[in-house]
């Protein structure tokens, strides 16, 4: 169950105000409650603030509950929100249709307050468990930043959004300089500790909720910066480079400095003629390669006017 300070949000959808009032009176003591009197309003509220669960009437004018559910389940952003139909329609085929569309439960009117409370409580608990498992599946166990799977999914989604809304999307590819030498001389235990510290320090520098830092593999990290052009992305990259250098993690065997440093390659979708994930990754990797070839502990960016990455 949610703590009182972080109660779950439930969206109640019914075109009859009296029904909304009754459901709200039953649930508002334990949950944050939102109300919608139409399918269109429900979709609007869901888009603005994702609820944890939806209680949805079937029989509504203009857009019935089945259509609302169909649209919710077709949207990747809302498909995992549990939907419980609450309706006077009690035919087997009606219930079958609702469940086929993806609803988690089908509650018949007239409603029983104890039954509503119990079913909502069970579905909220199940959603909490599912959300926790999903978060774990997207987190790198060592560094506690996003993992490769989360990054790949987010990159695909953000590229689609960038194309749809015609905005810039930038990508940083980072590598801890001479990390193999660090492991060889200090041991893998300290190496793991170093990676975790570097990752958390960079995570603290990423201020916007839409930005994402992920461990890409080994000592390599990526940072996704939606709605960010090349120039601003380079500023973020330089800030990250300075942050890691300022940690002063000793690395006596590095050829770049006496402490841990990072090299960063920067690319932006607006600098390329394509909007594929593979192409953006390739450009960032090329820029990172040049940063390494140029002595490391620096930022390089790829520019479409010159196929050779250029200095910051």
Dihedral sign from CA coordinates of 177, 179, 180, 185: positive
d(CA 251, CA 152): 31
How many CB atoms are located within 10 Å of the residue 212 CB?
20
Length of the chain: 312
Q: How far apart are the first and last CA of the chain?
A: 50
**Dihedral of the alpha carbons of 116, 119, 125, 130, in degrees to the nearest 10:** -130
d(CA 49, CA 63): 20
Q: What is the CA radius of gyration of the chain?
A: 25
Tokens representing residue 291 in the block: 């940063």
Tokens representing residue 217 in the block: 């593999």
Catalogue the active-site residues.
Answer: 219
Widest distance between CA atoms in the chain: 75
Are 260 and 254 within 8 A, CB to CB? yes
d(CA 70, CA 13): 15
CA distances in angstroms from 305 to 232, 272, 275, 310, listed in the order given: 18, 10, 17, 10
């Amino acid at each position: 169950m949610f703590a009182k300070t972080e109660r779950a949000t439930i969206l109640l959808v019914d075109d009859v105000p009296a029904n909304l009032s009754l459901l709200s009176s039953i649930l508002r003591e334990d949950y944050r409650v939102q109300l919608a009197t139409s399918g269109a309003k429900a979709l609007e509220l869901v888009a603005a603030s994702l609820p944890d669960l939806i209680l949805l009437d079937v029989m509504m004018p203009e857009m019935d509950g089945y259509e609302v559910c169909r649209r919710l389940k077709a949207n990747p952003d809302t498909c995992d929100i549990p939907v419980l139909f609450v309706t006077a329609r009690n035919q087997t085929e009606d219930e079958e249709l609702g469940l086929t569309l993806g609803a988690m439960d089908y509650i018949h009117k007239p409603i029983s307050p104890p039954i509503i409370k119990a079913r909502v409580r069970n579905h909220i608990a199940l959603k909490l468990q599912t959300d926790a498992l999903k978060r774990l599946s997207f987190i790198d166990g060592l560094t506690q930043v996003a993992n490769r799977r989360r990054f790949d999914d987010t990159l695909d989604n953000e590229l689609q959004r960038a194309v749809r809304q015609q905005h810039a999307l930038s990508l940083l590819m980072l590598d801890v300089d001479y990390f193999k030498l660090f492991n060889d001389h200090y041991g893998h235990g300290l190496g793991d500790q170093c990676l975790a510290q570097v990752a958390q320090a960079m995570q603290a520098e990423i201020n916007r909720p839409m930005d994402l830092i992920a461990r890409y593999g080994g000592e390599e990290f990526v940072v996704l910066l939606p709605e960010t052009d090349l120039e601003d992305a380079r500023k973020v990259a330089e800030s990250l480079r300075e942050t890691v250098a300022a940690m002063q993690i000793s690395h006596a065997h590095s050829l770049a400095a006496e402490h841990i440093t990072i090299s960063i390659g920067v690319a932006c979708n607006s600098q390329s003629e394509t909007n594929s994930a593979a192409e953006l990754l390739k450009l960032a990797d090329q820029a990172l390669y040049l940063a390494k070839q140029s002595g490391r502990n620096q930022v390089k960016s790829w520019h479409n006017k010159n196929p050779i990455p250029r200095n910051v």
